[in-house]
Amino acid sequence: MARPAITGPRLDRETRAERLAYVTAHILLALFDAGATGRDMVQWTKEPRLLPTCPLGKFRGVPWSEVEAGFLGWMLRQPTMEEDLKWNAQREITRRQKGAGL
* pLDDT tens digits, 6-17: 555 665 777 888
Q: Is residue 58 part of a domain?
A: yes
Shared domain check, 70 and 40: no
Per-residue pLDDT, 31: 93
Q: Is residue 82 part of a domain?
A: yes
* Residues 15-72: tens digit of each pLDDT: 888 899 999 999 999 999 999 999 999 999 999 999 999 999 999 999 999 999 999 9
Domain that holds residue 82: 53-99
Q: Is residue 3 part of a domain?
A: no
- DSSP annotation string for 2-57: PPPPP-S----HHHHHHHHHHHHHHHHHHHHHTT--HHHHHHHHHSPP--SEE-SG
Per-residue pLDDT, 3: 54
**Bigger pLDDT: 9 or 95?**
95
